[in-house]
Amino acid sequence: MKTFTQNLLCALVLCTTITNAQTVVDTYGNLTVNGNRVTSETGEEISLAGMSLFWSIAGDVTNFYNAQTVNHLADDWKISVIRAAMGVNESWDGGNGYADGAVGRQYNLDRVEPIIQAAIDKGIYVIVDWHSHDAENYLTEAKEFFGYISDKYGDNDHILYEIYNEPINQSWADIKTYAEEVIAVIRANDPDNLIIVGTPFYSQRVDQASQNPITAYSNIAYTLHFYAASHTGDGPGSLRDNARKAMSTTDGYNGIALFVTEWGTVEASGNGGFNETESNTWINFMKDNGISHANWTVGDKNESSCVVNNGMGVTGLVNGQLTPSGVYVRGKILEQAVTLSIEDLTLAGKEVKVYPVPFKDTLKISSTIHIDSVVLTDMSGKEVFAKETNEMNPSITIPDLVTGNYILSIISNGEMANTVITKIK
Ligand code: MG
C-alpha cells in the first residue's frame, strides 16, 4: 500500500485524470436484457427513473408534447427516460388518434417526433408507446408506425419501442401473436434496441407472459403497470407477487425482464388520493429488482396523477407549480438520478469509471483492468479507507464515513489515478 505522500506525488507527477460530462445514454448505451433484468449495454444493473407524458390525443394537454417539456424534465428533474404515450384510436378534447386517417397520423407524429428528437438531443431514453387497449385491432397501423420509427431512429440507442400499452381482456397468446408481427417489422430495421411488450389485464399479469415468453426475437422486456394506492400488498395475486413470479425461473416461469413504463402514486383511475407510503414501497421494490420506471403523468388535467397544477401548462411545469404527487415524484427521481453521475479516469492507458459521484453508501469502480487497491484519504492527508482487491469492478461500501470531500486513489500494477470525490448523506 502506498502512503499518502506517494499518492500525492503520483497525483502531481505521473497520473492523468480526466473528467467527462456524459449523458445517460452515453453512459449506459443500448439497453440490453440479461436474464430477468434490463441492464446497460455492458450488463450493469440499472433502474432508470423518468416520466410518461399524458395521452397524445387529449387535445387539452398535448401542449406538453414539445422540447421545452423534455429539456426541463431532463435538466431540473434529472429524468433518464421520457415516454411519449401515443393514442391510437381514442380521441377527446379536440385531439386525433393515430389511426384517424392521414390527419390523425400527422397530428400524432407532430407531437411524438419532437419528443424523440429532444430526448436524443438531451441524451436520455425515450419510450415510443403505442398507447392502446386493443392494439390487435390496429395491427396494420402499428406495423406502419413502428416500421417508420425504427427506420428513421433505430440507430439511436435512445429509442425504446413499447408496442402495446395495456391489453385488457386479451389472452397472452393473442397478445404474443400481435407482438411477434410488430417485432418482425422493427427487427428488419433495427436489430438491437429494447422492445417492451404489454401483458394481460392492464399490463398487470407479467406472470402469464413469463410462462410462455417470446423466444423468436431477442432483447424483449415486458410491461408491468401499477397504481400505488390501488395495488398494495405482497400476498398471492398481488402485483408484486406477479412480478416476483415473472422474474423467477421455477414452477414454469422463465425469468423475464420487466419495465414499468407507467406507474402512479394514486388510484388506478389516475385519480384519488396520492399515497406516499405505498409509493415508497413500490419504488424500493423497483430499485431492489433493477426495474426501470416512468411515472404517469406529465400533464395539468384535473387528475391527481398529473404532476402540474390544473390548467398551468408547460409554464407551470417550468415554474414548479406542481401537485403533491408532482413534488413527491420529482424528489424520488432526483434521488435516483445520483447514480447517473459518472467520473472517467485514465489508468494505465485504460478508462476507469467511478460512480456514483457524489456517492452515499457505496462507490463503484468499473474498468477493463485489474484494480489492486482503492484508497480514500481525507483532505488533511489522513488515510480513512483502504481495500485490496483483485477485481476489474470493485465496489466499496462505507455508510459510516463522514460526509465531505475525499481523494480517491485507484491503483493498478504500480500505476495510480486520483480524483476528489464527495460523500453525501
Ligand atoms: Mg439499434
pLDDT of 43-70, one tens digit each?
888 899 999 999 999 988 989 999 999 9
Q: 174 CB contacts (<8 Å, ≥6 apart)? A: 136
Q: How distant is the alpha carbon of residue 213 from its chain centre?
A: 22
What was the pLDDT predicted at 339?
56
Rounded to the nearest integer, the mean pLDDT of the chain is 91
Compute the radius of gyration of the chain from its Cα atoms.
Answer: 23
State which amino acid sits at residue 125. Y
Query: 33 C-alpha vs ligand 1 centroid, how far in Å?
Result: 14
Query: 407 C-alpha vs ligand 1 centroid, how far in Å?
Result: 39
Residue 262 appears among annotated catalytic residues: yes
Residue 180 appears among annotated catalytic residues: no
What was the pLDDT predicted at 390?
86
Query: 31 C-alpha vs ligand 1 centroid, how far in Å?
Result: 10
Question: Is the Cβ–Cβ distance between 197 and 209 less than 8 Å?
Answer: yes
In the CATH scheme, what is the code of domain 2-20+342-423? 2.60.40.3080
Q: Which of 37, 36, 31, 54 is nearest to 294 (CA)?
A: 54
Domain with CATH 3.20.20.80 in the chain: 31-340
Over residues 162-176, the pLDDT tens digits come to: 999 999 999 999 999
Question: Is the Cβ–Cβ distance between 227 and 203 less than 8 Å?
Answer: no
What was the pLDDT predicted at 338?
56
Of 262, 267, 278, 343, the active-site residue reads 262
Compute the distance between CA of residue 15 and CA of residue 38 in angstroms, rounded to an integer: 36
Of 44, 162, 166, 303, the active-site residue reads 166
Question: Is the Cβ–Cβ distance between 246 and 205 less than 8 Å?
Answer: no
Widest CA span of the chain, in angstroms? 72
What was the pLDDT predicted at 351?
86
Domain with CATH 2.60.40.3080 in the chain: 2-20+342-423
What was the pLDDT predicted at 340?
56
What was the pLDDT predicted at 228?
97
Query: 192 C-alpha vs ligand 1 centroid, how far in Å?
Result: 5
At the top level of CATH, the class of 31-340 is alpha beta
Return the C-alpha cell found at 287: 430499485
Over residues 21-30, the pLDDT tens digits come to: 578 998 899 9
What was the pLDDT predicted at 353?
86
